[in-house]
Structures are given as structure tokens and as C-alpha cells.
Structure 1
């Protein structure tokens, strides 16, 4: 009888409340973005001395980094890593807000089969190791970060970058009068008409960052400060992601009859690209051979401003089969 009573009580008791694991984006201030929708990072945790795990999510479709031929855009990887730099600088190394970060170099290699778009957003895990750390007056001044990126346990990419951190006072001296946003933005040259979007693998003219120029394999950089993704917030020079996009579009323009996928980039940043004078983009396939042992092509892209090299990239591409 007592057993039956216990059964009756148990059967009418309320079910236990299960607390779900919640996912959220990190604060936009930590990744230097104005639009919450452009924040891809969802969390981070320390794993040891100068070692971290960062999590991220890619949308199934993005307004600018398009999912095409069933694959996520590889430049989503570059933007995800770019966001990791300020996140760890502020959260792990106590870099004050207002500090400017500046890329020295950036390189990545990815596994294109891990880019396949699915019925849910892509969940990423980035294992980050910091090294060659330099400090100035106790604050982080420069650091190299290495990345192993996986998606649902499948290796997606490896990457390495080095960047510098500049306090507002140091940055003002470094920019030599070019850090005043009002003055700089007042002097921005109007973007010239773009090349055909189809030439560079784009659908919309506003997403084209190259304009025609004299000579073969040469273009003028289009700096459209009204672009909502490339210019998410006001800046005093052309952002790095604009230059990466220019390298990708220049590589595509060399062979517009095939869709190219940038499976690797090796990039060096030499000078800031200013808004008040034209910046020229040139592209040349590697010589003497176009292909590596895997059938991949390499293209050298260079940006010039006032007769100085400001940026260079070696872009490795694969042909994407239409689906």
C-alpha cells in the first residue's frame, strides 16, 4: 500500500525544469563593430598561459559575405579572426577601449570541404595561441596569434597574424594629423564607377571594390565609406577587410569565366591606405607556373598609393564547380 502511494505522488509531481545552455554574441564593443548583426563571436575562455578557445557562429547567408555554390565565403573566416584580435586584446590582456589595433601580416589556409553550408548556421571553435608578446609601459604593444579553426570537430583552417596596439596618443603621433575623423572624412574621394559585378564575382554594383583603370590587370580601389559592412563605423583609413576583398576581386577578375575560391591568403600591410588620393590595385599570376600540385592557382595582388606599395597579398584559389 505504501508503495502504491509513493507511485501516485511521483506520477503527479511536476517535471524537473531543465536549464538550457544559452548562446549569445559577445558585446559588439569587444570586436570593434557598430552593428550587432555583424558580430560573429559567441564566447571565449582561457585554456592556459596565452592560450584561448573562442567560439563563433556564421549565418547561413550574409548580406555581403555570400553563400555561393553551397559554400560559405572564406572571407567570413578572415572577419572572424579579425574580430578575435580586439576581443582577446580587451578581455584577456586588459587593453583599454580606444586603443587602435593595426595588422602587420595575416595568412590563412583552409579546407574548402568544411565550408559547406547546411540547414543551420555554422558553429566554429578557434584555438588561439599568443606568442612574441611585446609590451610598452605595461600595456600590450604587439602580439602574434596562431589559430586552429574547426567546425563541428572537423578542421576548417589554420591562420597566423601579428598586429600592433596603439594608445590614442601614440596613434595620433603615428598618423601625423590624419586621425581627425571629421577632417579625414571630409577629404574622402568619391568612389568611381565600379567594374561589372560579374567580372569580380559579385551581384550588386555597391559591393564591387574595384574601378576600371588604364592597363591590363590594374584597377582603382573603390572606397565607399557608406558601405554598411566594409565601413560598419567611421574610420580614418581604408580598413584591412576592404583590402582583402580587393585582393579577392582582383584575383577573380583575372579569370571571370570560372568562380574562384580563395582557399589561402598571405598578406602584408606596409602603410595605411588613405582616403584623399587614389589607390591602385594590380594582379599577376605567379610565374613561371600557374598551378601547384593540387591544381590551385596563386596570384600576387599589390596595392599602390602615391607610388608606394601599401599592401600585398598572395592569393591561392581553387575553381568552384557550379551546383
Structure 2
């Protein structure tokens, strides 16, 4: 499917209709502008249609775009927090938006790989409240530092403002590069060959300690040291591992940062701001040490910031700074 065939002005056969639209000559079909569906899942690198947050997009000018999205009132993993949509669903929406635009507006073929180098979100809980219907959102996106290599997109940085009606619900930014399949295969030969044995699935820490209900959704395992855990990698998880991959997805690392923050705080929290850097692939076959400590300058009378890092074999994989606020209940 080409991007140009997938926009709102779609011809729908046999749809009930009242109004002044004129039938398309010779087809009996009517153009509808009020019907909503998700964008093709391939455009956002999801295997499950249920995990696609985006519904449409449009180019405003050269590197300025409008993307529409919808968040469900309830989600199997991005659970509501203190009657608010999970802030990490905003991060996933921003991640999907960049991939969508790369494929549809910058010509990156399907099958190319994306390396996310940083991702940040800043949410406004007052405008994340779960309402009586799914949340309809509009993402205003500006791309800059757009890089090309031999006529192909090599990557870009993008800034996002997520609006819910007239209000800003969240802002964010991200930076990624694109890699052709042949190049990716050369870089990842050892992991793609499956020559290393998989790690056994480790036991989760108590779900209530990290703001979770189900042990299945816990991504930290105890190692007997304070504020330190092993990353728990369950490749059977239907959302975190929506499709087979040769490395730990970035959203798993963001969830680890959120859970480590809750465990460090010793209380349920709402992440207000998450700023993350991804330094290298988090490998599936190597233990990843997650550590958390209060960020320098934290004042207990204000929202607290926690620095979370992940290391494999002594090398930094990622770091996130999470600023949180306590639940109101």
C-alpha cells in the first residue's frame, strides 16, 4: 500500500449516508471524511492492529506535519494512572509518529530498521484525564536536522506537541537514524544467527512495588542489592514484544525506568517528564543491570527526579531521568 492511498477522503461502498456528498461517478461509492481507522500497522512497526495509536497524517509544509491519534479508555499494558492516561502511551505515540513520517513522507522503504537515540516526553496530567470516550489527539510535528545519504533518508530529529482539543496534553522529542536491511544484517550478524543461548526468564519483583497489578508486566528482577535490579526480559509479552526482535525494544527500557523510579520512591507515582538516551543495543542474551538513584539537586518538597541507568557487561546501554509526582489518592 502506498501512503498516498491512505488518507481520509476514502471511497466507502454500501455505507449508510445522509447529507450532500455526491456519489463518485460510475462507482456508487461516496467520499467520507468522518470515518476513522488506524494507519497501516506496517507504517509504525507494529504487528498488532490493536497497538497502533495513529489514525491519519498530513504534511503542512516541507518539514511540518499534523498527525492524528487516538488513545483507548483502557489498555492492556498502558494502564490508567490516577484516572489519567498512562504517560508512556504518549511516548509510544511519539515513537510511532516518527516512523510513520519516515516511511510515508520521506520515502523510507518498509523493511528498513530505525535506531532511536533519544526520546523525551513532558506530560500535563490535567489534560490526560480519561473521559467517557477514547481520547482524540492531534500531534503537531516539526522535523529538523534531516540527514540524507545518497538520496535516502538517514535520519532526523523531531519535536512534537500533542494537543487534546484546545489543550496541550504533552510535548516531546526524539532522534533516530535509518539503516538499510543489508547494513543492519552486517551489524547484527551474531544476534541474528541466534548463536547465543537465551537468558532464562527471571522472577519479577512484587508488582505493587512498581505500580503494576500483574507480575507479567513487571520488567525488573531482584538481585539483592538496594536500588538495583536485573532487567526482566519476557519476549512472550504481547505488547512489549509485539513482534520478534533481536534486541530489547526501547519502550521496554522506558518501562524499566518508570518502574525503577517507583521502586526508588517507595510510592505510586505519575511520571511528569522522562528524558532518555539510548547508547547501544540492549541485547537479549546478556543480563542488563538497572540502577536508580535520586538525581542531584532533588528536593523532597517538589516533584522528585530519579536517574536510571542500564549497563550490560560494564557498558552503558541507556540512561533516563524521570521526574515524578505522587498520586493524588
TM-score, normalising length: structure 2: 0.89
- Tell me which residue corresponds to 1:297: 304
RMSD: 1.6
How far does residue 291 in structure 1 lie from its aligned partner after superposition? 4.6
Q: Is the 8 Å Cα contact of residues 81 and 270 (structure 2) preserved in structure 1?
A: no
**Which of 260, 282, 287 is residue 273 of structure 1 equivalent to?**
282
Aligned to 2:323: 316
Alpha carbons 1:281, 1:302 under 8 Å: kept: yes
Out of 151, 175, 179, the residue aligned to residue 166 of structure 1 is 179
Q: Which position in structure 1 is the counterpart of 2:87? A: 74
Encode CA deviations 1:215-243: one digit per residue, 9 max, x unaligned. Answer: 11000000000000000000000000000
Equivalent runs, 1:92-107 vs 2, <5 Å = 92-107=105-120
Matches within 5 A, 1:154-233: 154-180=167-193, 183=194, 187-233=197-243
Unaligned runs of 5+ in 2: 1-17, 22-31
2:292 matched residue in structure 1: 283
Tell me, yes or no, if the aligned pair for 2:210 and 2:268 is still in contact at 8 Å.
no
SS at 1:177 equivalent: helix
Offset at residue 172 of structure 1 (A): 1.6
Distance 1:59 1:210 in 2: 26
Instruction: Specify whether residues 290 and 172 from structure 1 end up closer, same or farther in structure 2 by C-alpha distance, changes over 3 A only.
Output: farther
**Aligned counterparts, 1:124-135, within 5 A:** 124-135=137-148
The C-alpha deviation readout for 1:107-135, integer Å capped at 9, x for no partner, is: 12111111100000001100011110111
Query: Could you tell me how far apart the structure 2 residues matched to 1:95 and 1:288 are?
Result: 43
- Paired with 1:28 and 1:120, the residues of 2 have a C-alpha distance of 23
Contact 1:187/1:275 (CA < 8 Å) preserved in 2? no
Deviation at residue 72 of structure 1 after TM alignment:
0.6
1:176 and 1:291 map into 2 onto residues whose CA distance is: 47
| Aligned residue in 2 for 1:246 | 256
The answer for the alignment partner of 1:146 in structure 2 is: 159
Matched residues in 2 for 1:40 and 1:191: separation? 29
Aligned residues: 303
Q: Deviations over 1:28-50 (max 9, x none)?
A: 11111011111110000000011
Larger Rg: 1
Measured after TM superposition, the shift of residue 255 of structure 1 is 2.3
Structure 1 stretches of 4+ with a deviation exceeding 6 A read none
Whether the 8 Å contact between 1:259 and 1:321 is mirrored in structure 2 is no
Please give the alpha-carbon distance, in whole angstroms, between the structure 2 residues aligned to 1:243 and 1:16: 49
Query: What is the distance in 1 between the residues matched to 2:296 and 2:148?
Result: 41
Q: Say whether residues 1:44 and 2:53 are aligned partners.
A: no
Deviation by residue 1:118-153 (Cα, 9 ceiling, x = unmatched): 000001100011110111121111100111111112
- With structure 1 as the length reference, what TM-score do the two structures score? 0.90
Any stretches of 5+ residues in structure 1 without a counterpart? 1-14
